[in-house]
Amino acid sequence: MAGETVDGRLVLAATPLGDARDASARLADALATADVVAAEDTRRLRSLAAALGVTVTGKVISHYDAVEAARLPGLLDDVRAGRTVLVVSDAGMPAVSDPGYRLVAAAAAEDLPVTCLPGPSAVTTALVLSGLPCERFCFEGFAPRRGGERRRWLGALVAEPRAAVFFESPHRLADTLADAVAVLGAERPAAVCRELTKTHEEVLRGTLGELAAWAAEGPVRGEITVVLAGAGPTAAPAVETLVGAVRERVADGERLKDAVAVVAEAAGVPKRELYAAAVRKG
């Protein structure tokens, strides 16, 4: 469609994490004027609009993970037809661990107009509240649900020099922090941010060992964002602490040699030393 003029546009807009007063004036205007509003949860959209004193006059459709692919052709048709399509998630920025990425990619591939209304983000909010160095950071999405996969995922962060941010369910937080202690060490600094911008906002800062002990006491409730400090220049672990990660991969069907190579590279330790430690410990 290069060279063609399209009056429609796709607009992604950040929504408040919890406090409706964090909504921008541009978001309120977009909700009131968009021809189509694609919302992760239409009920939450209606609640937000009511809190903002806005009447949504456009067509409202659901746009959550299970229906995202099916909705894509129709939403692109709307943009081609000259309509403004507004995409919002339950909280924060669409397409960041929420629906929206596929739609943006498809629109961009056709040179359809795409823009964004910036605003709240749980990722950057947690980073600045963590009290950890965050000049450089990586976002890891949601932690894997299964223990073996989660420990392998954590293994890739052993030597990561950037702060790492991820989301976790309150019901799995204790297990994830316990795995983090086993893989990253009890002394790694971290922060657990709960219910950001909401009435019961809480930020707990400390070592992974301290935070794991707190979570184990349970129950933990609310929306959770975790920040891990980046590895320091001398943070490479003793090879013995990585044997568990090697065993997990072998148990899942990998050859010992291959498992050692992956874990050693991620952790920045010599493969020969890790292989010898794995053999010694059986």
143 lies in some domain: yes
Q: Whole-angstrom Cα distance, residue 226 to residue 224?
A: 7
pLDDT tens for 97-110 read 899 999 999 999 99
* pLDDT reported for residue 107: 97
Statement to judge: residues 113 and 166 lie in one domain: no
234 lies in some domain: no
Domain boundary among 120, 143, 173: 120
233 lies in some domain: no
2 lies in some domain: no
pLDDT tens for 41-67 read 999 999 999 999 999 999 999 999 999
Cα distances (Å, whole numbers) of residue 227 to 39, 168, 173, 261, 278: 28, 11, 13, 27, 30
CATH of the domain at 156: 3.30.950.10
CB-CB contact of 231 with 163 (8 Å): no
Identify residue 183 by its one-letter amino acid code.
Answer: V
Domain boundary among 120, 145, 162: 120
Identify residue 225 by its one-letter amino acid code.
Answer: T
1 lies in some domain: no
pTM of the model: 0.79
Q: Which domain range does residue 244 map to?
A: 239-280
As for how many domains the chain has, the answer is 3
CATH of the domain at 24: 3.40.1010.10
User: Can the peptide bond before residue 133 be classed as cis, meaning omega within 30 degrees of 0?
Assistant: no
What are the residue ranges in the chain where pLDDT is below 50? 1-3, 235
Statement to judge: residues 76 and 88 lie in one domain: yes
* pLDDT reported for residue 169: 96
Q: Output the 3-class SS for 105-149.
A: HHHHHCCCCEEEECCCCHHHHHHHHHCCCCCCEEEEEECCCCHHH
